[in-house]
Amino acid sequence: MKHTGFPAALVGLMLAACSPAAETGTETVADAGHQADAAHTESMTSAAISEADLRYRISTLADDSFEGRAPATLGGIAASQWIADEMARIGLEPGHGDSYFQPVALLAVTLDTDQSSFDIAFNGEPLGLSMSEDVVYWSKLNSSDITLDNSELVFVGYGVVAPEYGWNDYEGLDVEGRTVVMLVNDPGYGNPDSGLFNGNAMTYYGRWTYKYEEAARQGAAGVILIHQTAPASYGWNVVSGSWTGTQLDLARAPGEGQFASVESWVTEARARQMFDLAGLDFDALTAAAAEPGFVPVPMAGLTATGHLVNSTETLESRNVVGVVPGTARPDEYVLYTAHWDHIGIRDVPEGEDGLYNGAVDNATGTAAILEIGEAFVANPPERSVMILAVTAEESGLLGSAYYGENPIVPYDQTVGGINIDAILPTGRARDVVVVGHGASQLEDILTEAAAEQDRYIVPDPNPEAGYFYRSDHISLAKKGVPMLYADGGFDLVEGGREAGEAMGADYRANRYHGPADEYSEDWNMDGMVEDTTLFFNVGSRLANSDAWPNWYEGNEFRALRDAQRSE
Ligand SMILES: [Zn+2]
């Protein structure tokens, strides 16, 4: 269903809604859309953490009328307005001065694919890479016209500089003006027994964000990331789906920030073709890249040439924040985060569904933190609780990164936080998965609270996927704040691990970042209710104590936190 945008009546209300007045909770599009069940809304949500409340909020946020909640679109504006109204309705206080909104300025860069080109040539002979099929490319430069001219290719392994491991894939290499080609994930993935890079669990060095950041720091003009499904932990469809269309970043002036001219991914098939042409053994070099002392390899005869035409625009999105003031130590805050945004609408052939409703990702998490906020209003804690729904997570954790740089509450007053991102409607699970397990003392509190539900804690079964670096808690963790990112597990009460893993695999294969991630009345909500209750209990223990949980000894964020708290 090629989406034709909002019905006229709704657009009228929207414009009314976007006026400053809207921030104070006057009637908005969302309410207009749900006028029929306004009375229903009032009576339906309660202080208790309930299936009905979660269903109401998830079905609302994942409704077509919010158009997949892309930041700075009509759908995104309406959804964030609805969240603010919901915060006001359930009794949360405005969390940003007298507003529920923390504005987040974004830079939207849209590549004009008709006028742009990017290709690899072998001895001047173009390979004819086609956009989306073989390659996706873009530029983060705040510029309308970018060129890359016969830039020589060099393979830099995993493209990592990690002093703590004595590792430098750019050792003695000048990549100024050149195009670096690299593998996704980190050397620990390729060589888990090396004892380096946290073994098979992905470190931040394995994340695409780090790869482009490091290549830019090194002065590369072009960057080519080789996509392989296993080390990336997602298919090419996610790459071609996520990196085409308008790219968002935190707003910055032209020339601000350090970026390669052209950033890209290529398919494994095309990468193998390039290695063959250059007379290089792809598999042997992939193995060598995971060995200490790897030496980068020029890819003889291969050059990259591109001409990118961008239109850039500064947009504004917003984090939505509400607070339950503490009764005894109101200056100390416990944080709950969840991103409200999703992918929005994609251009698709007539008859296909281009609307990415983002029901699991992350209407569930947003609904859960609202539900938790409502429960705290009814059970006022000693410390304050902040409910923070962030924007632009799908574009690179931008809303939380913005909060990270512009915290509303100083970090030495932020006790810790819980991030909720994508709760699968699997039914109750005996286990609770901790993403980035073994990081902080928050896990001790979680273990106790889970035991009350007769549940046990397990590490993330896919540490190589690097989920710890792929959601909003990392923006706060990077600032030293102990953050927990956990989720219902796979050892289901009904169907056991087999059923749980099958559901997880089905979600990842068929609905993750796809138009099929839609809400359904036949979802089994038992697990979601139990998980939301668990996260409430963890926060309640923290908010009704004077504990200051820290990162465990040796954790990458511990030193930062110690310094923060010592002040
Ligand atoms: Zn998400």
Q: Which helix (H) or strand (E) holds 270?
A: helix 268-277
Cα of 69 to ligand 1 centre, how many Å? Answer: 12
Q: What is the mean pLDDT of residues 212-229?
A: 96
Cα of 469 to ligand 1 centre, how many Å? Answer: 12
Q: What is the mean pLDDT of residues 524-544?
A: 98
What pLDDT score was predicted for residue 175?
97
> Who's near 554: CB < 8 A, 6+ residues apart?
none
Q: What is the pLDDT of residues 275-302, one digit of tens each?
A: 999 999 999 999 999 999 999 999 999 9
Tokens of 326: 């503490």
Contact status, residue 157 vs residue 298, Cβ threshold 8 Å: no
Distance of CA 540 to the CA centre of its chain: 26
State whether residue 383 is helix, strand or coil.
Answer: strand
What pLDDT score was predicted for residue 509?
87
Residue with tokens 């969240």: 83
Q: What is the mean pLDDT of residues 547-567?
A: 92
Cα of 255 to ligand 1 centre, how many Å? Answer: 30
pLDDT bracket for residue 138 (50, 70, 90)? very high
Q: What is the mean pLDDT of residues 521-550?
A: 98
Q: Is residue 14 over pLDDT 50? A: no
Distance of CA 181 to the CA centre of its chain: 24
Q: Is residue 38 over pLDDT 90? A: no
Tokens of 356: 């990415």
Cα of 229 to ligand 1 centre, how many Å? Answer: 19
Q: What is the pLDDT of residues 39-89, one digit of tens each?
A: 444 457 889 999 999 999 999 999 999 999 999 999 999 999 999 999 999
What radius of gyration, in Å, describes the C-alpha atoms of the chain?
24
Contact status, residue 236 vs residue 133, Cβ threshold 8 Å: no
Residue 212's alpha-carbon distances to 238, 251, 263, 273, 511, in angstroms, are: 18, 18, 7, 23, 27
Cα of 361 to ligand 1 centre, how many Å? Answer: 5
- Alpha-carbon distance of 18 to 344, in angstroms, equals 19
More confident residue, 367 or 464: 367
**Nearby residues for ligand 1 (ion, Cβ within 5 Å):** 361-362, 421
Cα of 397 to ligand 1 centre, how many Å? Answer: 9
Q: What is the mean pLDDT of residues 519-546?
A: 98
Cα of 394 to ligand 1 centre, how many Å? Answer: 7
Strands 161-162 and 179-183: unpaired
Least confident of 114-123, 279-288, 402-411, 464-473: 464-473
Strands 329-339 and 383-390: parallel
Cα of 239 to ligand 1 centre, how many Å? Answer: 15
Cα of 26 to ligand 1 centre, how many Å? Answer: 29
pTM of the model: 0.86
Q: Is residue 474 over pLDDT 80? A: yes
Looking at residue 95, what DSSP letter applies? Answer: S
Cα of 56 to ligand 1 centre, how many Å? Answer: 19
Cα of 168 to ligand 1 centre, how many Å? Answer: 32
- Alpha-carbon distance of 300 to 132, in angstroms, equals 26
What pLDDT score was predicted for residue 48?
94
- Alpha-carbon distance of 418 to 413, in angstroms, equals 15
Least confident of 3-12, 175-184, 185-194: 3-12
What pLDDT score was predicted for residue 21?
40
Cα of 340 to ligand 1 centre, how many Å? Answer: 8
Share of the chain above pLDDT 70, in %: 92
pLDDT bracket for residue 17 (50, 70, 90)? very low
Cα of 400 to ligand 1 centre, how many Å? Answer: 12
Cα of 339 to ligand 1 centre, how many Å? Answer: 7
- Alpha-carbon distance of 61 to 538, in angstroms, equals 25
Tokens of 307: 């001409």
Q: Is residue 165 over pLDDT 50? A: yes
| 307: nearest Cα among 109, 131, 115, 108 | 115
What pLDDT score was predicted for residue 261?
95
Cα of 516 to ligand 1 centre, how many Å? Answer: 15
Cα of 422 to ligand 1 centre, how many Å? Answer: 6
What pLDDT score was predicted for residue 43?
57
Cα of 341 to ligand 1 centre, how many Å? Answer: 8
Q: Is residue 463 over pLDDT 90? A: no
Least confident of 91-105, 134-148, 215-229: 134-148
How many helices (H) does the chain have, and how many strands (E)? 18, 21
Share of the chain above pLDDT 90, in %: 78
- Alpha-carbon distance of 17 to 30, in angstroms, equals 10
Least confident of 246-260, 341-355, 487-501: 246-260
- Alpha-carbon distance of 163 to 285, in angstroms, equals 22
Distance of CA 414 to the CA centre of its chain: 22
What pLDDT score was predicted for residue 27?
42
Cα of 302 to ligand 1 centre, how many Å? Answer: 37
pLDDT bracket for residue 464 (50, 70, 90)? confident
> Who's near 336: CB < 8 A, 6+ residues apart?
369, 372, 373, 385, 386, 387, 388, 417, 418, 419, 420, 535, 539
Cα of 268 to ligand 1 centre, how many Å? Answer: 26
- Alpha-carbon distance of 313 to 273, in angstroms, equals 37
Cα of 419 to ligand 1 centre, how many Å? Answer: 10
Please provide the distance, in angstroms rounded to a whole number, between the alpha carbons at the two ends of the chain: 56
Cα of 401 to ligand 1 centre, how many Å? Answer: 15
Cα of 343 to ligand 1 centre, how many Å? Answer: 10
Looking at residue 35, what DSSP letter applies? Answer: G
- Alpha-carbon distance of 118 to 151, in angstroms, equals 11
What pLDDT score was predicted for residue 4?
40
Q: Is residue 3 over pLDDT 50? A: no
> Which domains are assigned to the chain?
8-91+325-566 (3.40.630.10), 109-312 (3.50.30.30)
Q: Is residue 476 over pLDDT 80? A: yes
